[in-house]
């Protein structure tokens, strides 16, 4: 393995800090997990619960299990190689290939930011009555300020701010469950895999297909290395991998809990209520069913979701550009590239929710470009050395990849053919 990728084992004098080693590793997965609680997921989960009750609880549980596997693989690639997935792609693709790959990844970044900015603009409209375009500008400005802290010595501060927003999201979206607790028996019944008609199959495909976000895959392999500032001593690879497993499990457990809470909240309090197929409609329905205070808390959670998601999405876009094109663009420039299309949509679109649907389709198209190379590289001994995935794990990975890709293909086909 290249000497530049070797990680120095801590010296004996640092053993007194070993008890805190695990805590020092935690953080990157929580930043990546923000992708799983973005405004698009909010809309999908509330719609599922309000329309089908507890029927598809099992889909979210399955989706969360798959996301744990995929995010750990991304972290593992970054830890073992010392390089990000975009960097490795940039090294192994020709000039034309790198440019084409970057173009599709940039379109994905724009589609990602579209959902985040629209969700935040809707939250500000619900909270303060601001026009959507003005709200989008505010979201863009605040998220740009957050990005100032994403590199160098302040990176840990960036992680803490994102984690704080993640906790606000959790509180904002589960508060309603304390006001109107669900029936545990009904929730448990939702863990039994089943469908009721073709419409529920389509809903399940949408939920599963939109679970894995491409930018989270690209970014996690960067985050595990950016977690340590230049010259800072790291634990050995084995310790880092163990810590990353804990990090991923806890982070995705938190994100999964938020998503489940949204679905259960809708199933318990909004089942059969019409008009919940948009974020704004869902908030109004929650406020009507559980009171204006819970409606406001929901809106605050949505705002936190937007701010954290759009910051992380722009961070991912910058790293993709750096890895594939070997261009270190200023973060503000990357912010402008993804923000402007979202603001244009907010200015001209009569129904921003339709734009969210189109954005989800674009994201679905981009998933195979991220997930297939990831699994290929973690099975490449020349890259991973002794930490290469064995045949059994590789087979499991490919089953998961095949399922996700197939569901996204179905989702795209049904959407483009007008059946969704």
d(CA 319, CA 325): 10
Query: Residue 300: is its pLDDT beyond 50?
Result: yes
SS3 264: helix
d(CA 315, CA 323): 12
Query: Residue 182: is its pLDDT beyond 90?
Result: yes
> In this structure, what DSSP letter does residue 93 have?
S
Give the best-scoring range by mean pLDDT among 101-115, 209-223, 280-294, 406-420. Answer: 280-294
pLDDT for res 65: 92
pLDDT for res 403: 86
pLDDT for res 282: 87
Q: What is the mean pLDDT of residues 266-294?
A: 88
pLDDT for res 129: 94
Cβ-count burial of 2 within 10 angstroms (0-12 exposed, 13-18 middle, 19+ buried)?
A: exposed
Q: pTM here?
A: 0.87
Buried b (16+ CB within 10 A) or exposed e, 171-198: ebbbbbbeeeebeeeebeebeeeeeeee
pLDDT for res 4: 43
Architecture of domain 20-416: Up-down Bundle (1.20)
CA 43 from chain center: how many Å? 14
Angle at 59 between CA 178 and CA 185, to 5 degrees: 45
pLDDT for res 357: 65
Query: Residue 206: is its pLDDT beyond 90?
Result: no
Residues 19-59: pLDDT tens digits? 456 777 888 999 899 888 888 788 888 888 999 999 999 99
Buried b (16+ CB within 10 A) or exposed e, 269-302: bbeebeebebbbbbbbbbbebbeeebbbbbbbbb
Mean pLDDT of the chain: 85
Q: What is the pLDDT confidence band of residue 13, given thresholds at 50, 70 and 90?
A: very low
Q: What is the pLDDT confidence band of residue 420, given thresholds at 50, 70 and 90?
A: low
pLDDT for res 162: 87
Neighbours of 417 (CB within 10 A): 8
Q: Which backbone phi and psi does 380 adopt, to 5 degrees?
A: -100, 110
Query: Residue 160: is its pLDDT beyond 90?
Result: no
Q: What is the mean pLDDT of residues 60-84?
A: 94
Q: Alpha carbon of 204 to those of 137, 157, 362, 378: distances in Å?
A: 34, 37, 18, 29
For residues 359, 365, 368, 374, the Cα torsion angle rounded to the nearest 10 degrees is -30
Q: Residues 266, 45: contact at Cβ < 8 Å?
A: yes
Query: Residue 389: is its pLDDT beyond 70?
Result: yes
H helices present in 93-236, as ranges: 95-128, 132-147, 155-179, 184-189, 198-209, 214-226
pLDDT for res 209: 61
Q: What is the pLDDT confidence band of residue 6, given thresholds at 50, 70 and 90?
A: very low
Q: Residues 266, 46: contact at Cβ < 8 Å?
A: yes
For residues 135, 141, 144, 149, the Cα torsion angle rounded to the nearest 10 degrees is -110
Tokens for 36? 């799983």
d(CA 127, CA 364): 31
Q: What is the pLDDT confidence band of residue 360, given thresholds at 50, 70 and 90?
A: low
Q: What is the pLDDT confidence band of residue 18, given thresholds at 50, 70 and 90?
A: very low
Tokens for 332? 């503000």
Q: What is the mean pLDDT of residues 151-158?
A: 75
pLDDT for res 7: 44
Taken in order 288, 290, 293, 297, is the CA torsion positive or negative?
Answer: negative
H helices present in 180-291, as ranges: 184-189, 198-209, 214-226, 237-269, 279-290
Q: Which backbone phi and psi does 360 adopt, to 5 degrees?
A: -65, -35
Query: Which residues are within 8 A (CB) of 335 and not within 5 positions of it... i.e. 6 or more apart?
Result: 140, 143, 144, 147, 314
Q: What is the pLDDT confidence band of residue 150, given thresholds at 50, 70 and 90?
A: confident
Percent of the chain residues topping a pLDDT of 70: 90
The ranges assigned to domains in the chain are 20-416
Q: What is the pLDDT confidence band of residue 3, given thresholds at 50, 70 and 90?
A: very low
d(CA 169, CA 300): 8
Tokens for 292? 């204006």
Query: Which residues are within 8 A (CB) of 403 and not within 5 positions of it... i.e. 6 or more apart?
Result: 66, 208
SS3 54: coil
Residues 310-331: pLDDT tens digits? 888 888 888 898 999 888 878 7
d(CA 346, CA 324): 30
Query: Residue 110: is its pLDDT beyond 80?
Result: yes
Q: Residues 378, 344: contact at Cβ < 8 Å?
A: no
Query: Residue 121: is its pLDDT beyond 60?
Result: yes
């Amino acid at each position: 393995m290249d000497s530049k990728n070797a990680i120095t084992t801590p010296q004996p004098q640092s053993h007194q800090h070993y008890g805190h080693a695990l805590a020092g590793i935690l953080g990157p997965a929580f930043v990546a997990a923000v992708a799983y609680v973005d405004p698009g997921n909010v809309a999908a989960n509330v719609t599922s619960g309000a329309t089908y009750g507890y029927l598809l609880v099992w889909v979210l549980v399955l989706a969360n299990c798959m996301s744990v596997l995929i995010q750990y693989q991304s972290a593992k690639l970054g830890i073992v190689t010392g390089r990000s997935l975009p960097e490795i792609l940039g090294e192994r693709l020709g000039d034309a290939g790198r440019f084409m790959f970057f173009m599709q990844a940039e379109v994905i970044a724009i589609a990602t930011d579209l959902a985040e900015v629209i969700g935040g603009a809707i939250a500000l409209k619900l909270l303060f009555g601001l026009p959507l375009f003005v709200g989008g500008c505010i979201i863009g400005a605040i998220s740009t300020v957050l990005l100032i802290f994403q590199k160098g010595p302040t990176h840990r501060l960036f992680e803490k701010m994102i984690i704080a927003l993640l906790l606000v999201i959790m509180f904002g979206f589960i508060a309603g469950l304390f006001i109107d607790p669900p029936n545990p028996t009904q929730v448990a019944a939702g863990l039994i895999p089943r469908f009721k008609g073709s419409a529920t199959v389509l809903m399940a495909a949408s939920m599963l297909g939109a679970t894995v976000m491409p930018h989270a895959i690209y970014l996690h392999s960067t985050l595990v290395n950016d977690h340590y500032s230049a010259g800072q001593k790291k634990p050995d690879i084995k310790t880092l991998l163990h810590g990353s497993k804990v990090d991923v499990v806890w982070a995705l457990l938190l994100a999964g809990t938020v998503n489940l809470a949204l679905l259960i909240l809708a199933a318990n309090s909004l089942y059969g209520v019409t008009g919940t197929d948009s974020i704004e409609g869902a908030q109004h329905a929650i406020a009507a069913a559980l009171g204006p205070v819970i409606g406001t808390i929901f809106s605050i959670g949505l705002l936190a979701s937007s701010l954290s998601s759009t910051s992380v999405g722009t961070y991912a876009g910058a790293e993709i550009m750096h890895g594939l094109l070997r261009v270190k663009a200023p973060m503000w420039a990357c912010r402008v590239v993804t923000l402007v299309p979202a603001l244009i949509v907010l200015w001209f679109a009569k129904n921003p929710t339709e734009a969210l649907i189109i954005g989800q389709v674009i994201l679905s198209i981009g998933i195979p470009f991220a997930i297939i190379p990831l699994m290929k590289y973690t099975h490449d001994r020349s890259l991973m050395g002794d930490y290469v995935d064995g045949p059994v794990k590789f087979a499991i990975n490919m089953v998961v990849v095949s399922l996700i890709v197939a569901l996204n293909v179905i989702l795209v086909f049904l959407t483009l053919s007008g059946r969704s």
